[in-house]
Amino acid sequence: MEELYLIYIHVIGSDRKGVSLYEFIFSNTKEDIDGDGWDSIPAAGNPSPPFEELVKMVGTLVSPDKQFNVIQDNDSFSVWDAVDGVIGLAWENMDSYEVYPESRLHFHFGEEIKNVESKLYEHDLILDYKKELSNGQKEEDK
Cα distance between residue 32 and residue 133, in whole Å: 26
61 - beta bridge partners?
A: 22
Instruction: Kindly tell me the burial class for residue 106, based on how many C-beta atoms sit within 10 Å of its own C-beta (0-12, 13-18, 19 or more).
Output: middle
Q: What is the pLDDT of residue 134?
A: 43
* Residue 133: predicted pLDDT: 42
77: closest CA among 67, 66, 88, 64?
Answer: 88
Please give the single-letter amino acid code of residue 107.
Answer: F
**What per-residue string of b and e applies to 130-140 under the rule 16 or more CB within 10 Å gives b?**
eeeeeeeeeee
Residue ranges of the chain whose pLDDT lies below 50: 133-135, 137, 139-142
pTM reported for the whole predicted model: 0.87
Looking at the DSSP assignment, which residues form a beta bridge with residue 8?
Answer: 25
**Which residues lie closer than 8 Å to 16 by C-beta, 6 or more apart?**
none
pLDDT of residue 131: 66
